[in-house]
Structure 1
Amino acid sequence: MKEIAIIVPVFNEELNIPAFLKEFLKFENVLLARNYSANVLFVNDGSTDGTEEILTELIKTTPHCEALFFSRNFGKEAALFAGLEHAKGDLVVPMDVDLQDPFHLILDMLSAYEKGADVVLAQRSNRDTDSFFKRFSAQWFYKLNNKMSALKLQENVGDFRLMTQQVVQEIVQLQENQLFMKGLMSWVGFKTTTIHYARPARLKGTTKFNYRKLWNLALDGITSFSTLPLKVWTYFGTFIALISFLYGLKIIIEKLFFGIAASGYASLMVAVLFFGGVQLIGIGVLGEYLGRTYLETKRRPRYILKNQLKNNNK
């Protein structure tokens, strides 16, 4: 009998955890009929509500449950990585606690795995439950990332997927601290297949991933797997330098042969502001990469565990 480890990062999710565990227990019985067992690993990412207390009480009475407790909020990417490091199972499935990742889809993933897939991605067939801005930004992120990076990400695929333990072990051996888990899970490769599903609405509460976090995640994704922004500014800088050289040559010729009138304040200011803006943008792009390099060189741990609870009762 093969075991499935379900990883569930949580941050201020006290409203959803009891319902999730209830569905997990139902699903566990369904799995037994297919000769699989399951365990669930919660990763509490420094919650400030009653999440820690609820997990502590529920794990005491719920078999095959375990929880990791961070010392503070380190972010979902770190929580997911910690789950992969501690997952005990032949197969590993990360999923959200709000039941937007349906349990029954894992059965379809198992069917694809039994046909030989090492990784089974769950791809959303639509994003009707998202706001217009979130749909628009997600669409352009995937297009931009796949144009700029050699690593192609499947559109509308989140963390919800099935992976063999071999795949997981390759992921956790990667050394970087600035994590973009969608990229890392795709980078390792292996035989991959995709199944489609319609994602239901969130059960309770609101998402903790605001637009600022989504923007930072998109930046992490692009800068982690592509140096094209640096190359673009190299080419753009060369082009601007060429124009500046030609314009300077024109001024020299005018000065030597035709003379230059005293007027020209407006054009001078426009040129100064334009080139100053270009330089600042270029420095900003360099700063993004330099900042990530600086953080990587510190070699700080990705997360700090405060506590670990488990219930192995059968």
Structure 2
Amino acid sequence: MTADSQPISPPTLSVVIPCYNEGENVALLFGRLLPVLEGLAVPFEVICVNDGSRDDTLDRLLEAQKGEARLRIVDLSRNFGKEKALSAGLFHSRGRAVVPMDADLQHPPEAIADLLAKWREGFEVVFARRDARTGQGLSEKLFAKGFYWVFDHLSDVRLPREVGDFRLMDRKVVDTINRMPERSRFMKGIFAWVGYRQAEIVYHQGERAAGTTKFNSWKLLRFAFDGLTSFSNFPLRVWGGVGAMISSLAFLYIVFRLIRAMIWGVDLPGYESILMSVLFLGGIQLLTLGIIGDYLGRVFDEVKGRPLFIVRQLYEPDGTG
């Protein structure tokens, strides 16, 4: 289809793709995605969200749009992060079914047909479960298992195993998510929280087509902690129990020292025991204050009420925007 053609509105399917420094993947992505979508024989649109990329991602997306009238580009004013870029894509989607996916082709476009088939059976959320974690080391796999275990035991929301953002959501599900006001957007938790009738398909995760991952160990750890604190207040509540336990042990130790002094007399206080007690209790206090501070910071962000993202420009296929 040429740029002179008009996209069908509203489309049946919207594919939402956050992009951050994915210039090397743009041509590879559309070379594989568009033939798959054409073969589905349903009206579709592709929404690419440029999340403040520092390379030529936007230029390559605009070049691709010249030959594809169903490509819409949301250019954010800066890098807001993948979760908020995904939120921007969902907000601008118009399809009756919406599929978020990554730009690096680790989410195979061919699996979209299976997602649509389940949706046509009446399921409102169809998530794609990877059969194995491709391109990850043992430490990353153990970290992921540990995160899921902790999240399931500390949160009221259970995350489906080995499921990322790649899934299909009905229009009513997307509208529900778009109405959710929170600024801390842990999308996997939000997708699980909304519920609705769910099904799954299994797919094989491919290797990254080009470029390098944007997540390092620190970002993954921060992302995991953000997810936990977004859906559980257990880290706050647990310190009440820890404080009670430490206070009880301290009280028993005081009683022990008093009895010992009455029986054997007062001995020279131990420097090591005092030092360890001060350092231990000081560390517990600082850790507690840090967790409280993280929750307080979230409250601060929510109270300010700033928008989730700022769109610098929306590039429509007809040249408007």
TM-score of the superposed pair, with normalisation by structure 2 = 0.93
Residue pair 2:134, 2:206 contacting (<8 A) in 1 also? no
Are 1:18 and 2:24 an aligned pair?
Answer: no
Q: Which residue of 2 aligns with 1:48?
A: 54
Q: Partners in 1 of 2:37 and 2:234 — Cα distance?
A: 46
Q: Which residue of 1 aligns with 2:13?
A: 4
Are 1:107 and 2:116 an aligned pair?
Answer: no
SS of equivalent residue, structure 1 residue 77: helix
Q: Which moved more, 1:256-265 or 1:226-235?
A: 256-265
Are 1:119 and 2:128 an aligned pair?
Answer: no
Aligned residues: 310
Are 1:294 and 2:306 an aligned pair?
Answer: no
Q: Which residue of 1 aligns with 2:69?
A: 63
SS of equivalent residue, structure 1 residue 160: strand
Q: Partners in 1 of 2:183 and 2:66 — Cα distance?
A: 33
Q: Partners in 2 of 1:80 and 1:46 — Cα distance?
A: 13
Residue pair 1:112, 1:120 contacting (<8 A) in 2 also? yes
Q: Partners in 1 of 2:111 and 2:100 — Cα distance?
A: 12
Q: Which residue of 2 aligns with 1:27?
A: 36
Q: Partners in 1 of 2:214 and 2:278 — Cα distance?
A: 43
Residue pair 2:157, 2:231 contacting (<8 A) in 1 also? yes
Q: Partners in 1 of 2:280 and 2:38 — Cα distance?
A: 66
Q: Which residue of 1 aligns with 2:3?
A: none
Match of 2:167 among 161, 166, 178: 161
Question: How much does 1:274 deviate?
Answer: 1.5
Residue pair 2:148, 2:159 contacting (<8 A) in 1 also? yes
Match of 1:268 among 265, 269, 274: 274
Report the CA distance shift for 1:56/1:214 in structure 2 as closer, same or farther (over 3 A): same
Q: Partners in 2 of 1:52 and 1:106 — Cα distance?
A: 25
Question: Amino acid of the residue matched to residue 268 of structure 1?
Answer: I
Question: Amino acid of the residue matched to residue 17 of structure 1?
Answer: V
Q: Partners in 2 of 1:100 and 1:270 — Cα distance?
A: 50
Q: Which residues in structure 2 correspond to 1:139-158 (within 5 Å)?
A: 139-158=145-164
Q: Which moved more, 1:85-94 or 1:98-107?
A: 98-107
Match of 1:88 among 77, 84, 94: 94
Q: Partners in 2 of 1:131 and 1:51 — Cα distance?
A: 28
Question: How much does 1:112 deviate?
Answer: 0.9
Residue pair 2:19, 2:50 contacting (<8 A) in 1 also? yes
Q: Which moved more, 1:198-207 or 1:284-293?
A: 284-293
Question: Amino acid of the residue matched to residue 5 of structure 1?
Answer: S
Question: Amino acid of the residue matched to residue 202 of structure 2?
Answer: H
Residue pair 1:64, 1:312 contacting (<8 A) in 2 also? no
Are 1:310 and 2:319 an aligned pair?
Answer: no
Q: Partners in 1 of 2:226 and 2:152 — Cα distance?
A: 14
SS of equivalent residue, structure 2 residue 87: helix
SS of equivalent residue, structure 2 residue 157: coil
CA deviations over 1:56-113 (Å, ceiling 9, x no partner) = 2221221200001111100000000001111011100000111111111111111111
CA deviations over 1:125-175 (Å, ceiling 9, x no partner) = 111421222211111111110111110001110000000000000001011
SS of equivalent residue, structure 2 residue 293: helix
Residue pair 1:65, 1:312 contacting (<8 A) in 2 also? no
Question: Amino acid of the residue matched to residue 24 of structure 1?
Answer: L
Q: Partners in 2 of 1:109 and 1:312 — Cα distance?
A: 29
Q: Partners in 2 of 1:312 and 1:160 — Cα distance?
A: 29
Question: How much does 1:207 deviate?
Answer: 1.1
CA RMSD, 1 decimal: 1.6
Q: Which moved more, 1:283-292 or 1:45-54?
A: 283-292
Residue pair 1:177, 1:302 contacting (<8 A) in 2 also? yes
Question: How much does 1:257 deviate?
Answer: 5.1
Q: Partners in 1 of 2:196 and 2:248 — Cα distance?
A: 46
